[in-house]
Amino acid sequence: MNLALIGVGLIGGSMALKLKQKHFVSKVFGVDFNENHLAEAKKLNIIDEISDLENAVKNSDIIIIAVPVDATKNILPEILNLISDKQTVLDVGSTKSGIAKSIENNPKRNRFVATHPMWGTENSGPQAATADAFAERAAVICDEENSAKDALDLVKKLYENLEMNLLFMNSEDHDIHTAYISHISHITSYALANTVLEKEREEDTIFQLASSGFSSTVRLAKSHPEMWVPIFRQNKENVLDVLNEHITQLRKFKSALEKDNFEYLEELITNANKIRGILK
């Protein structure tokens, strides 16, 4: 089976490496705006041939779109125009409702499967790709009822080869849950980095003192705007909801401290500790 990989960065690259290793796909055509990434992906054996979009799509059984979510919205109708009823397209983006809506009346809608493998790092590009990134993690398939059965089955098989645990939900629920579980963590982390960069002028001290706690809280702040601005844009309403709640929660800590109300502070912390029971 041939694969067209649209976007040869961290996510697409990691998928292709594993799918080749498992012999789920044989030949991989790589398409990307970034020529350095293409050359790098070829060198790393992530892709077998550098191609333009049309050639890659025409010669592939399965097409993975692994580009920022705004680019996905633009390129998906173009790809659906190019394919036959024997081909399958999936995206792997972090937002789902906008993309779903943009193609709801497309005659080839049922050749598309909307997915989101829940993995990523603060790094990007093909050199950050790794074959075993996805194993044992969750992958979400959205609006399965809008995909043809054979397309859906193929994508399920693809995720089995990535050794991921499949979950099913509709696009709207997906976007609400990821606002809580992923998008707000990024905003918090960015804001924390900006706080420290604004107030702590002694960079050497940050570097020398930064404990593992700080590093893990601020790790996501290294994530690039090319990926994250489009995610926040597409999931704006949900992200704003959660962000407002987060600011409210921070104000409770502020108020407890300002009023020397340490019983209330303890209550807030004890409540937060409940996350222990939910996360391993």
Query: Residue 140 has what DSSP assignment?
Result: E
> Which span (10-18, 30-38, 39-47, 185-193) binds a copy of itself, by CB under 8 A?
185-193
State the nearest-atom distance from the C-beta of 48 to a copy of itself, in Å: 30
d(CA 54, CA 6): 11
Q: Are 143 and 170 in contact (CB under 8 A)?
A: yes
| Residue number, 43 or 251, with CB nearest to a copy of itself | 251
CA dihedral over 221, 227, 233, 238, signed as positive or negative: negative
Residue 270 sits in the site that holds a copy of itself (CB under 8 A): yes
Residue 269 sits in the site that holds a copy of itself (CB under 8 A): yes
Residue 212 sits in the site that holds a copy of itself (CB under 8 A): yes
| Residue number, 20 or 174, with CB nearest to a copy of itself | 174
CB-based burial, 223-253: b 16+ in 10 Å, e otherwise: beeebbebbbebbeebbeebbeeeeeeeeee
Q: Are 120 and 114 in contact (CB under 8 A)?
A: no
State the nearest-atom distance from the C-beta of 112 to a copy of itself, in Å: 22
Please pick, from the candidates 3, 72, 137, 143, the single residue that binds a copy of itself as defined by CB under 8 A. 137
The single-letter code of the amino acid at 95 is T
Residue 239 sits in the site that holds a copy of itself (CB under 8 A): yes
Residue 217 sits in the site that holds a copy of itself (CB under 8 A): yes
Residue 118 sits in the site that holds a copy of itself (CB under 8 A): yes
Residue 74 sits in the site that holds a copy of itself (CB under 8 A): no
> Which span (39-47, 56-64, 74-82, 133-141) binds a copy of itself, by CB under 8 A?
133-141
Residue 245 sits in the site that holds a copy of itself (CB under 8 A): yes
Please pick, from the candidates 36, 54, 74, 257, the single residue that binds a copy of itself as defined by CB under 8 A. 257
| Residue number, 12 or 30, with CB nearest to a copy of itself | 12
Strands (E), 118-249: 138-142, 165-169
Cα angle 160, 163, 167 (rounded to 5 degrees) comes to: 70
Token duo for residue 262: 């340490």
| Residue number, 36 or 255, with CB nearest to a copy of itself | 255
Instruction: Report helix, strand or coil for 110.
Output: helix
Please pick, from the candidates 30, 93, 98, 120, the single residue that binds a copy of itself as defined by CB under 8 A. 120
Residue 209 sits in the site that holds a copy of itself (CB under 8 A): yes
d(CA 30, CA 47): 6
